[in-house]
Amino acid sequence: MNCFSHFWRRYGLDRHEYCGINIRRAYERDIRCDIDDPRYTKNALKKEFKAEVPVENGVKQYHKIPPMWPQGMIWRDANGRQIPDVINQYYTSYSARLRDIVEQFQPGVLGWIPVTYTYSRGKRTEVRFFVDNRSVPRIDLIDPVASNMVWFEDVRSMLPARDMARRGRPLPPHADPAQPSVLHFRDDAAVPYHMFGVNGLSFGADWVSPELRDAFVAAGLFGVEFSPVPFGKPASEAPSGALRPC
């Protein structure tokens, strides 16, 4: 939990310690999930339940629609294994104890959708939770200059300068495709939430405050790691160790 304390003091970043949740993908290989829901095939939502995507001038127009949450999930080969508190299978699901910790810090903000998980071929069940993405507070935090990232309107997301150059897209003056892109937040950012999303980054509640991160670690949450993201002024050099997990 304190492996970054010296790092943050050295760079003067003690109060800028928001973390991204990293799911340990090894568990996705070792223990797999299947959706237990008549609307789904083995790998995807059935065609009759998919929302139509309008086309204008030959270009698909993507619109945010309320997700169609599955009713349950089947956990294959869970015999005798500890189940991670965060599972990324089709959707990101959270354990009840993770939800309870979040609610202590941020009561009533996130919409938790219960889904029944079945383990070990029906021997036991557990109610886990999805977060309704429409309820996630979205915060503008990215410093694109310090991060060497560029807004890509086609997908409404920030992309590394190198990726934009590969796509043949024009680059703003700050973007350098020859340099790595390392995520930075704005130095003047203030976040009133403990679990939130970041505009232009991954979809959903992926970011947590240092206080909530510490509570997760103290509770012994299993199967997740945390990546502190430094704050930086435009054109500042990314400190070594950025995005290294605690």
> Considering the chain, what is the average pLDDT of its residues?
77
Instruction: Give the pLDDT confidence of 200-226 residue by residue, as tens digits.
Output: 887 678 899 989 999 998 999 888 888
pLDDT exceeds cutoff 90 at 194: yes
Residue 24 contacts residue 226 (beta carbons within 8 Å): no
pLDDT score, position 144: 86
Instruction: Give the pLDDT confidence of 56-74 residue by residue, as tens digits.
Output: 777 666 555 556 778 888 8
**CA 231 – CA 186 distance, rounded (Å):** 6
pLDDT score, position 246: 33
pLDDT exceeds cutoff 80 at 184: yes
Segment among 108-117, 171-180, 235-244 with least mean pLDDT: 235-244
Instruction: Give the pLDDT confidence of 89-141 residue by residue, as tens digits.
Output: 777 889 999 999 999 999 999 999 999 988 766 677 889 999 988 899 998 88
pLDDT top residue among 6 and 143: 143
Query: pTM, whole model, 2 decimals?
Result: 0.77
pLDDT score, position 152: 83
pLDDT score, position 40: 83
Residue 83, burial from CB neighbour count under 10 angstroms (0-12, 13-18, 19+):
middle
pLDDT level of residue 162 (50, 70, 90 thresholds):
very high
70 contacts: CB under 8 Å, gap ≥ 6:
35, 36, 37, 39, 40, 90, 91, 115
Q: Among residues of the chain, what percentage have pLDDT more than 90?
A: 21
| Beta carbons within 10 angstroms of residue 155's beta carbon | 9
Q: Among residues of the chain, what percentage have pLDDT more than 70?
A: 76
pLDDT score, position 16: 56
pLDDT exceeds cutoff 80 at 232: no
pLDDT top residue among 5 and 197: 197
**CA 195 – CA 236 distance, rounded (Å):** 27
Sort residue 57 into left (φ over 0), alpha (ψ -120 to 50) or beta.
left
Instruction: Give the pLDDT confidence of 20-49 residue by residue, as tens digits.
Output: 887 765 565 566 777 888 888 877 778 777
Q: Which residues are paired to 73 by β-bridges?
A: 35, 117
pLDDT score, position 137: 92
